Structure 1
């Protein structure tokens, strides 16, 4: 019996690892930088500015990393299944291998839920500057102490006319628009002995996944949200707005949108704007493959 439990647990762990490494359902890594964490929470005050390189004339201009009080607190995640003790007694536990492999796939992909949830709710969740991640008046400091407002949220004047939201992101930077903070990567926990209280009381062994981490916002300048109708004109407005953004002291940020993220309901409209080489008039489509299209079922 003990031998069966030990061999099964080893086999289950192997199938879990296979599912963990074979799964390709990590959409979140295309939008979020994975950053290791070594504490209960990690601060990201440095997101206050993107330093620029300038010609060295006179003394250096020192860019002090802004001390914004923005941190991501790690959460604890779990998922647990039970296997009856009789399955090990009867040597009938092999059928569970496929379950544990799928367990691994789920562990590999679960950050998608949290990263895309942040994206979808960015118009009401704060980022490092205290404004909502998607907002119409992010403060930008200019030379001489002047502060101007910049927008990465494109919304109709009349809230009643809002459409299904869509998103345009620059994912080319080392720090992407979103962050997945990983404190403890998903691990499988196995039973150790027949004396476990769960085995004694309910005659079953528990196997579980444990992980720690959380999602958060990176640079708001690298993302835009629109709840205007998804059409070529509105796409162009958002694209041009992002590429025109300036940073502190008025220098261009060189934003280059790379991916249009839409829910499945906007798939056709997104493809009509980005994937058609020619318009219905026969003219060339200036937006043909200008960005990638991501159909995100998590939205």
Structure 2
């Protein structure tokens, strides 16, 4: 191939088309536990996170919730992946070897939110949320019906592989995926670029700006106990009985069970078997959807 601007433009368009095709073929899964929040600056402050919205009887004036009470902030981060194409390969039309790499660019770009969201969920026992406590904790603050601060738990601890029960029916999800700039395909491929002049390399890459964080811990139960019917029962009861400030029920249900590969067998038996415990009728059959996530242990 003759090295000129027109041919290099054709090469760029071909690579980008390959990238977009592979990108579109991937269905990311992070959306079952994370809500996407557009970002327009370096960081976003989530002051509304200490106010779980609930209706009340209108007596007297409206009670206006202050949505700037929390200083929980998620700072955007930069991510990239870059390859170089040797000028000799372009001249010799030896470009087929790069097609799988560009396809992998597309796949990894589309699934990258998964690589952020699922490890964050697994790190919920050590990563803090808006109230200053780890997201999965036994000491989250809440006001009881008398207006006094008490605590609630959204975990029962343990040391096994983690599993999670959460309510995936709401607009607000337990995890926030903050999107400042989506993944894009970029290039330094002009014959006059320093990388071409000095190293005879055309450079192609992908990059994005984003980050992840936690929203309401009330929406999820995390456990490292063995996934048994008794542990699952505890998780469902705790979620269903969850109350917000002043003792108001939040109407949360355990609709999605999330596990890693090591808990898949136990989860499938729990949610699909007719019997448990050696012959007892299984009351938990069909009570939640199952999501098996390879990014979890």
Q: Tell me which of 2, 7, 11 is aligned to 2:10.
A: 7
* Equivalent position of 1:181 in the other structure: 178
Q: Tell me which of 32, 37, 46 is aligned to 2:34.
A: 32
* Equivalent position of 1:75 in the other structure: 77
The separation in 1 between residues aligned to 2:163 and 2:177, in whole angstroms, is 21
Q: Is the 8 A contact 1:11 1:97 kept in 2?
A: no
* Equivalent position of 2:43 in the other structure: 41
Q: Is the 8 A contact 2:227 2:267 kept in 1?
A: yes
Q: Tell me which of 55, 67, 70 is aligned to 1:65.
A: 67
Structure 1 residue 90, shift from structure 2 partner: 1.6
Q: Tell me which of 240, 247, 253 is aligned to 2:244.
A: 247
The separation in 2 between residues aligned to 1:100 and 1:74, in whole angstroms, is 25
Q: Say which SS state the counterpart of residue 35 (structure 2) adopts.
A: strand
The separation in 2 between residues aligned to 1:20 and 1:247, in whole angstroms, is 41
Q: How does 1:76-91 map to 2 (within 5 A)?
A: 76-91=78-93
Structure 1 residue 98, shift from structure 2 partner: 3.4
Q: Say which SS state the counterpart of residue 188 (structure 2) adopts.
A: coil
Q: Count matched residues.
A: 293
Q: Is the 8 A contact 1:49 1:66 kept in 2?
A: no
Q: Tell me which of 258, 267, 290 is aligned to 2:287.
A: 290
2:22 paired with 1:19? yes
Question: Could you tell me the TM-score, scaled by structure 2's length?
Answer: 0.94
Change over 3 Å in CA distance of 1:66–1:240 after alignment to 2: farther
Structure 1 residue 94, shift from structure 2 partner: 4.0
* Equivalent position of 1:105 in the other structure: 107
- Root-mean-square deviation (CA, aligned residues, Å) is 1.5
* Equivalent position of 2:201 in the other structure: 204
Q: Say which SS state the counterpart of residue 275 (structure 2) adopts.
A: coil
The separation in 1 between residues aligned to 2:217 and 2:150, in whole angstroms, is 15
The separation in 2 between residues aligned to 1:296 and 1:233, in whole angstroms, is 23
Structure 1 residue 139, shift from structure 2 partner: 0.4
Gaps of 5+ in 1: 157-161
Gaps of 5+ in 2: none
